[in-house]
Amino acid sequence: MSTIKRQQIAAGNWKMNMNYNDGLALAQALVDQNPANNGAHMVLGVPFIHLKGVADIIAGADHIHLAAQNCSEHEKGAYTGQISVDMLNSVGADYVILGHSERREYNAESNALLASKTDRVLAAGLIPIFCCGEALNIREAGTQNAFVANQLQESLFHLSAEDFGKIVIAYEPIWAIGTGVTASPAQAQEMHASIRALIADQYGDEVAEATTILYGGSVKPANAVELFGQPDVDGGLVGGASLKADGFTAIYNAFPAE
């Protein structure tokens, strides 16, 4: 058994929720309720308008980090409405969520585009939280492992082992996002193990064992303990349940005790 200890992360994706003042109040409540826990990290994936305000609130909490929900593949220029990695760096972001299923679907983000965004994020010294996952029809056809493998191969496997080692993977079964349906712990573990084996084939066992893989599909306080207890599940990318301080605190505290 590997002796490598992977980083455990509870990441909240606020999506398009929370006005400015409500978002700052939520961030403050999370800071107040969550001293450091077993070395686990909390990541707040907030809308762009919240980034600087939340960064100021969490500044004294070394275990709480800031994520943007997207970035541009371009360095700068005439791209109205887009946000560059330099802008994200300037307000204290640590992570960038890339390839979320909603952006893949609503904004037609391709694997090739996400490869470019990943390169841009890494070059800026930020950490991508790279999302992958299948829709219900793919799961029903039994081709989910091959589908997810293709997403990773086309967007990430051009990276060097050193750069790939900086990536956080988030597996999000699209059929379980916002539906109230959750992949069983066994289903989550099976896919996470498949992803880790794929990484091992490409980069070797050491890189694979060190890669943090999050589960993102209707994670709630009621199921977080069992999900996070799976050997290849290193935390969660949490949607709706991250919008309430008490609920997200419970999820953050769901990691197995050392």
Q: What radius of gyration do the chain's Cα atoms show?
A: 17
Cα 198 to Cα 188: distance, rounded to the nearest angstrom: 15
φ, ψ at 2 (rounded to 5°): -65, 145
Measured CA to CA in angstroms, residue 122 lies from 99, 109, 202 at distances of 15, 18, 19
- Amino acid letter, residue 70: N
From 41, 50, 65, 100, active-site residue: 100
Calculate the CA 187 to chain-centre distance. Answer: 18
Cα 28 to Cα 108: distance, rounded to the nearest angstrom: 35
Q: Quick check: 55 and 93 in contact, CB under 8 A?
A: yes
Q: Quick check: 167 and 130 in contact, CB under 8 A?
A: yes
Active site residue 105: no
Helix H segments across 34-108?
51-57, 85-90, 101-106
From 50, 134, 172, 192, active-site residue: 172
- Amino acid letter, residue 28: Q
Active site residue 172: yes
Q: What is the DSSP letter of 74?
A: S
> 35 exposed, middle or buried (CB, 10 Å; 0-12, 13-18, 19+)?
exposed
Residues annotated as part of the active site? 100, 172
